[in-house]
């Protein structure tokens, strides 16, 4: 069995792992990552699947762990290149995937199957099972893969939350049962592995937000991630309890909540939540909550437009309180500070996660990582997801507590190969191509570093057109 992370090792994002045995290949996740500010004109980055393209007749399916863009966002680009293999996802993830496929007119040609925690998939020589985890979007699953050469557990993005927002708690009994089967390789989320303690529970966050709702007399504007469906549902429930109507602002917030409502992932009373429009102004401020996108200070987002007075339906005024129920993704700090300054300029008061706990991460902290390690007890431990420093820190931490017989293997680069077989588990000397494919508008992989270089020159030095 060969395990090949094609993306997700050198960045936070673009997660995709191929697993090969004999003539069969399965793929876990198919994500994108966002371009940095130095990649002029590039919208996002998708994984290089040239290796898989040459073996597309061997691909038995793509399995999705959850619905975040760094796990599903490249699907519409990758799937046609691989001859439209079948896709497997839980209900909410499948709903999000369906919308993407429809947007790119692929919904007719791609078969999308739903799975749940009791499903057993037979994909070529592989048997695949699942276990429920918690994360910052409902319906996250970890994956257990069995092939004739060995076993693998892939956690996906996970944390343990005993009082989550809308999901059930992560299924520790099942994880322990899977661990008992004897696991060769554990691939495990590193994003917050070196942060101490446990993640705060969604329940604690909801309690703090309720506190703010009861103490606030004026209008409340809450910015968060549009995929944090459980948290958004909790806020909507609290709003109904405290006699406030919720207005949703921002395309992804409106789309995601419509999908969540349709698929049964919301529990607030019908009519308590609506899309923002002129009627948002007619209600007294004390009866209004506006839930918006833009918690990362994104240039065109609804919150940014509110902050500079350019939102069609929301004019910030004295007495407004803005809650930023998120923490900055590294690189976005400056943009967020700008938005906060502008909100104060318009007369609002701003509460961030730095002031009180109104956000919790979806990624396991150190103690949760140790718990997953002790439930699975693999022969070989592979920290994945995240920058090298996060994965190295994760490796050091786990080595200090683990059985010395367990090996901790660092797959440093995308395209590295881990081989599992009779001779043991080892990193191969080979490597497959795993470049960044840049997406520019609808163009896919047709711009390279030379184009970016030329754009940089043009942006500072101008250009001369020959007539
Ligand atoms: Zn995620
Ligand atoms: Zn992720």
Give the span between the Cα atoms of 7 and 17, in whole angstroms: 7
Copy the structure tokens of residue 201.
């529970």
464: pLDDT strictly greater than 80: no
Distance 64 CA to ligand 1 centre (A): 11
Which phi and psi angles does 153 have, rounded to 5°?
-115, 130
Give the span between the Cα atoms of 50 and 161, in whole angstroms: 38
Tell me the CA distances in angstroms from 109 to 101, 104, 210, 220, one per residue in order: 9, 11, 46, 44
Closest CA to 231 of 319, 348, 357: 357
Copy the structure tokens of residue 299.
């240039």
Considering only 94-103, 152-161, 325-334, 427-436, which range has the smallest mean pLDDT?
325-334
Helical axes 172-180 vs 366-376, angle rounded to 10°: 40
Distance 428 CA to ligand 2 centre (A): 25
Q: Model confidence at 447, in pLDDT bands (50, 70, 90)? A: low
**Per-residue pLDDT reduced to its tens digit, 127-148:** 999 999 999 999 999 999 999 9
163: pLDDT strictly greater than 80: yes
41: pLDDT strictly greater than 80: no
Distance 11 CA to ligand 1 centre (A): 13
Q: What is the pLDDT of residue 386?
A: 82
Confidence (pTM): 0.94
Give the span between the Cα atoms of 78 and 301, in whole angstroms: 28
Give the span between the Cα atoms of 86 and 113, in whole angstroms: 7
Which phi and psi angles does 118 have, rounded to 5°?
-100, -5
Average pLDDT, the chain: 94
Q: What is the pLDDT of residue 446?
A: 62
The ligand with the least distance to the CA atom of 12 is 2
Which listed residue (135, 154, 311, 363) is catalytic?
363
The ligand with the least distance to the CA atom of 159 is 1
The ligand with the least distance to the CA atom of 140 is 1
Distance 434 CA to ligand 1 centre (A): 21
Q: What is the pLDDT of residue 294?
A: 96
Tell me the CA distances in angstroms from 430 to 1, 186, 416, 434, one per residue in order: 14, 21, 7, 12
Distance 75 CA to ligand 1 centre (A): 15
The ligand with the least distance to the CA atom of 158 is 1
Distance 466 CA to ligand 1 centre (A): 48
The b/e string for 292-325 (b: 16+ C-beta within 10 A; e otherwise) is bbbbbbbeebbbbbbbeeebebbebeeebbbbbb
Strands ordered across the beta sheet of 321-324: 273-275, 245-249, 288-292, 220-223, 321-324, 349-352
**Residue pointed to by tokens 């496929």:** 101
Which H helix or E strand runs over 105?
Answer: none
445: pLDDT strictly greater than 70: no
In sequence order, the β-bridge partners of residue 220 are 289, 321
Distance 423 CA to ligand 2 centre (A): 32
**Per-residue pLDDT reduced to its tens digit, 379-401:** 999 999 988 999 999 999 999 99
In sequence order, the β-bridge partners of residue 420 are 425
Percent of the chain clearing pLDDT 90 (strictly above): 86
4: pLDDT strictly greater than 90: yes
Give the span between the Cα atoms of 177 and 42, in whole angstroms: 45
Give the span between the Cα atoms of 155 and 130, in whole angstroms: 10
Which listed residue (157, 161, 189, 320) is catalytic?
189
Which H helix or E strand runs over 328?
Answer: none
Tell me the CA distances in angstroms from 347 to 158, 214, 294, 343, one per residue in order: 39, 21, 19, 7
**Per-residue pLDDT reduced to its tens digit, 177-202:** 999 999 999 999 999 999 999 999 99
Task: Report the DSSP pairing between strands 288-292 and 380-384.
Answer: unpaired
Tell me the CA distances in angstroms from 455 to 45, 370, 448, 458, 462, one per residue in order: 17, 46, 11, 5, 9
Copy the structure tokens of residue 114.
């739903």
Which H helix or E strand runs over 117?
Answer: none
Instruction: Tell me if residue 189 is catalytic.
Output: yes
Q: What is the pLDDT of residue 449?
A: 64
Q: What is the pLDDT of residue 353?
A: 94
Instruction: Find the Cα–Cα–Cα–Cα dihedral 316, 322, 325, 329, rounded to 10°.
Output: 60
In sequence order, the β-bridge partners of residue 267 are none
**Per-residue pLDDT reduced to its tens digit, 349-382:** 999 999 999 999 999 999 999 999 999 999 999 9
| Residues, CB-to-ion distance under 5 Å, ligand 1 | 68, 157
């Amino acid at each position: 069995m060969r395990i090949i992370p094609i993306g997700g090792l050198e960045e936070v994002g673009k997660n995709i792992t191929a697993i090969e045995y004999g003539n069969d290949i399965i793929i876990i996740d198919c994500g994108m990552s966002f371009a940095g500010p130095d990649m002029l004109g590039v919208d996002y980055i998708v994984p290089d699947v040239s290796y898989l393209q040459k073996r597309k007749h061997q691909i038995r399916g793509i399995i999705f762990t959850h619905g975040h863009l760094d796990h599903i966002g490249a699907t519409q680009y990758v799937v046609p290149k691989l001859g439209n293999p079948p896709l497997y996802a839980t209900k909410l993830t499948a709903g999000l995937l369906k919308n993407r496929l429809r947007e790119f007119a692929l919904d007719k040609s791609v078969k999308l199957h739903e799975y749940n925690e009791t499903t057993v998939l037979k994909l070529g020589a592989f048997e695949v099972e699942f276990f429920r985890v918690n994360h910052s979007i409902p319906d996250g699953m970890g994956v257990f893969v069995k092939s004739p050469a060995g076993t693998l557990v892939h956690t996906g993005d996970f944390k343990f939350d005993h009082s989550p927002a809308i999901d059930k708690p992560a299924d520790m009994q099942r994880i322990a049962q899977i661990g008992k089967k004897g696991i060769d390789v554990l691939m495990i989320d590193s994003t917050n592995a070196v942060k101490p303690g446990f993640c705060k529970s969604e329940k604690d966050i909801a309690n703090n937000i309720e506190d703010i709702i009861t103490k606030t007399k004026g209008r409340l504007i809450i910015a968060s991630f549009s995929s944090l469906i459980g948290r958004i549902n909790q806020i909507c429930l609290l709003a109904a309890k405290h006699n406030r109507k919720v207005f949703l602002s921002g395309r992804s917030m409106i789309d995601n909540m419509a999908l969540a409502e349709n698929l049964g992932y919301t529990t607030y009373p019908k009519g308590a939540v609506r899309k923002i429009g002129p009627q948002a102004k007619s209600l007294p401020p004390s009866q209004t909550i506006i839930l918006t996108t833009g918690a990362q200070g994104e240039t065109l987002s609804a919150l940014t437009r509110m902050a500079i007075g350019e939102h069609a339906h929301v004019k910030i005024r004295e007495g407004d309180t803005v809650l930023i129920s998120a923490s900055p993704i590294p690189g976005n700090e400056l943009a967020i500070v700008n938005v906060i300054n502008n909100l104060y300029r318009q007369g609002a008061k701003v509460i961030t996660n730095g002031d009180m706990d109104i956000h919790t991460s979806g990624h396991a902290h150190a103690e949760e990582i140790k718990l997953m390690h002790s439930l699975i007890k693999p022969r070989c431990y592979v920290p994945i997801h995240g920058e090298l420093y996060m994965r190295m820190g994760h490796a050091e931490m786990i080595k200090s507590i683990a059985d010395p017989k367990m090996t901790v293997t660092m797959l440093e680069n995308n395209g590295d190969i881990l081989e599992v077989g009779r001779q043991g588990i080892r990193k191969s000397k080979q490597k497959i191509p795993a470049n960044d494919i840049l997406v520019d508008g609808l163009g896919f992989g047709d711009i390279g570093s030379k184009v970016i270089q030329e754009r940089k020159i043009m942006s500072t030095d101008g250009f001369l057109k020959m007539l």
